[in-house]
Amino acid sequence: MKGIILEKPGGEYLLSDSVAKPTPGKNQILVKSLVTGLNPVEGIQQQGMLVTAWPIVLGCDASGIVVAVGEDVKKFKQGDGVFGCTRLGEPGYGTFQEYFLMDEHITFKTPANITSVQAATIGVGLLTASMGLVSGTKMPLEAQPQKSAEDSEWVVIFGAAGSVGQYGVQLVEGLGADATLSHRIPVAEQLQGIATITGGKFSRVFDASAMAGDTGMQALADQSSISDSAKYFTTTNDWAPVEPRKGVEIHLITLGLIGKSGGVSEETVNKDIETYIPKLEQFLESGVVKPNEYEQVGDIGVEEVLKGLGAFKTRKNDGKKLVVRVSAD
């Protein structure tokens, strides 16, 4: 089958028509790729990280149609629409090819109100936001009783304009952010703005940008007036140490462990995701959570992924997800 391959770390993306078509194993499904999303992680993988074997087909964020099911699969059947985040850097799972594998228990079923293009914008962003807010800050993944402004507590999200941050805002508020600050202003002004807007009534900080570790921790330490409960800081940056602060629990999001096995961390990540997905499917079907805006690059075909990867390198960060249609519905 066709796929976009990398032969070695630091190599160039190449179109191949001889990629082996994978076979689903136990609790796996084989998916015809419809639309694939593009993410910053592919740039990291191209340099050699988060890849288990070479050559490799990358891509981890896509929508498609189930064409075969493995042993013991119960949730899906042939013809079902699916989407989500696949295993990173493992042969057979890359979405920059005609067919790819997904793990049954950590895969979304596409609701009738979500198109295949919209579905390709959701998996990585929504799961990362859920891991940050639910696993990281212990926020319940369910509707909460309406509180008065005086009784409400703020959640501070850095990087709310990006894909992960936008889904984080939706999970917190449902309709959008109550207030925003520019990340381009000096840190002191950001901290003062947080204090002014929240009145210090926050104990949860989510760094969806992977670049606000120091600022987020300082906000919790210096600007939060919450003293009768734990404080939480979570970040998508799992490669740089975060300096501990007294009374602040730190959580590093490790979506790269999705689908993997062999340790307690892997088991925890996958069990958490398996727990989130039914509730998130309900949120999407009911419209509580809506797909992010997107920009489709190129025409239709696996080769169009090359255009998408080129566009991703030169794009302006306008909050839209870049997607490529690999095949027709």
Q: What is the pLDDT of residues 203-244, one digit of tens each?
A: 999 999 999 999 999 999 999 998 878 999 999 999 888 999
Q: What is the pLDDT of residue 178?
A: 67
Higher pLDDT among residues 215 and 152, named by residue: 215
Query: What are 286-329's pLDDT values in tens digits?
Result: 999 999 999 999 999 999 999 999 999 988 777 899 999 999 98
Q: Which two tokens stand for residue 111?
A: 């609701």
Q: What is the pLDDT of residue 175?
A: 44
Q: What is the pLDDT of residue 229?
A: 83
Nearest to 307 by CA among 15, 83, 95: 15
Q: What is the pLDDT of residue 149?
A: 54
Q: Cβ(69)–Cβ(76) under 8 Å? A: yes
Task: Find all residues with CB under 8 Å of 304, minimum gap 6, and list them.
Answer: 297, 298, 324, 325, 326
Q: Cβ(64)–Cβ(100) under 8 Å? A: yes
Cα separation, 29 vs 35, whole angstroms? 17
Q: Helix or strand or coil: residue 81?
A: strand
Percent of the chain with pLDDT over 70: 94
Q: Which of 109-118, 172-181, 316-325 has the lowest average pLDDT?
A: 172-181
Query: What are 49-104's pLDDT values in tens digits?
Result: 999 999 999 999 999 999 999 999 999 999 999 999 999 999 999 999 999 999 99
Q: What is the pLDDT of residue 228?
A: 77
Tell whether the model's pLDDT for residue 174 goes beyond 90: no
Q: What is the pLDDT of residue 177?
A: 55
Q: Which fold has domain 127-257?
A: Rossmann fold (3.40.50)
The Cβ-side half-sphere exposure at 150, using a 13 Å CA radius, reads: 0
Cα separation, 120 vs 323, whole angstroms? 7
Q: Cβ(102)–Cβ(29) under 8 Å? A: yes
Q: What is the pLDDT of residue 143?
A: 63
Mean pLDDT throughout 245-249?
93
Name the β-bridge partners of 205.
Answer: 156, 233
Q: Which two tokens stand for residue 298?
A: 């190129």
Q: Which fold has domain 3-122+291-325?
A: Quinone Oxidoreductase; Chain A, domain 1 (3.90.180)
* Mean of per-residue pLDDT scores for the chain: 92
Beta-strand runs (E) in the chain: 3-6, 14-16, 28-37, 56-57, 61-69, 81-85, 99-103, 108-109, 154-158, 202-207, 231-235, 248-252, 294-300, 321-325
DSSP per-residue string spanning 144-190:
-----TTT--EEEEETTTSHHHHHHHHHHHSS--S----TTS-HHHH
pTM (predicted TM-score):
0.94
Q: Cβ(255)–Cβ(273) under 8 Å? A: no
Nearest to 208 by CA among 150, 268, 168: 168
Longest dimension (CA), the chain: 62
Q: What residue segments make up the domains of the chain, in order of their start?
A: 3-122+291-325, 127-257
Cα separation, 148 vs 140, whole angstroms? 18
> Look-up: residue for tokens 């509180």?
147
